[in-house]
Amino acid sequence: MKKRIPFCDFLSRGGEKRKTTNNTRFYKHKGGFTWQGIKTEKYKDKGSHWTDVIRRVLIGNQNESAKFHLRYFEILPGGFTSFEKHKHEHVVISIRGKGKVFCGKQESARAGKQYELNFLDTLYIAPDTPHQLSNPFSEPFGFLCIVNAKRDKPKMIKKGSRVGQAFRLAQMQC
């Protein structure tokens, strides 16, 4: 029996696979980084490990058979995503404002690198790389994120880790 890979957008609420419809769809941009027919969703369930982040799933929530999902995330000034790692890779393309991304080789602030993403800068995040995105600037930071449709659930890096502390310090310095 093939083992099912759990992840956030793949299964319907009842745990059943969604039926694919594969109809061509057009999502008209309405301005303000919103698209007709696309809902604004919570980034994740509530928690103190992230703040001021929204997401919009452009491809992946409408019963497509695509092997990838395309999501738009927006981080408000002072906001940040969870500090996490997982077995799947992603591609991040900055399309609004600017933001910072910490990518670590290990779960340590000394073993990583911080990048500043500006308009159309693109970052590939390799599997099992601890990472966190933040917005220490005064304008919203919006980016497209491409991930595998079948993906594992992220593993949160401990609160109070050196990377989390380093990121909060970097946010204060900007």
Strand partners, 147: 69, 90
Based on the residue annotation, tell me whether 174 is a catalytic residue of this protein: no
Return the beta strands (E) in 7-162 as ranges: 29-31, 34-35, 41-42, 51-59, 68-80, 84-85, 90-96, 99-104, 112-117, 122-125, 131-134, 141-148, 155-156
Cα three-residue angle 165-169-173, rounded to 5 degrees:
170
Q: Which of 8, 103, 145, 174 is catalytic?
A: 145
Residue 153 to residue 171: CA distance in whole angstroms: 27
Residue 108's Cβ-side half-sphere holds a number of Cα atoms within 13 Å equal to 4
Query: Is the separation of the CB atoms in 166 and 111 below 8 Å?
Result: no
The three-state (H, E, C) secondary structure of 139-161, written as one string: CCEEEEEEEECCCCCCEECCCCC
Active site residues: 145
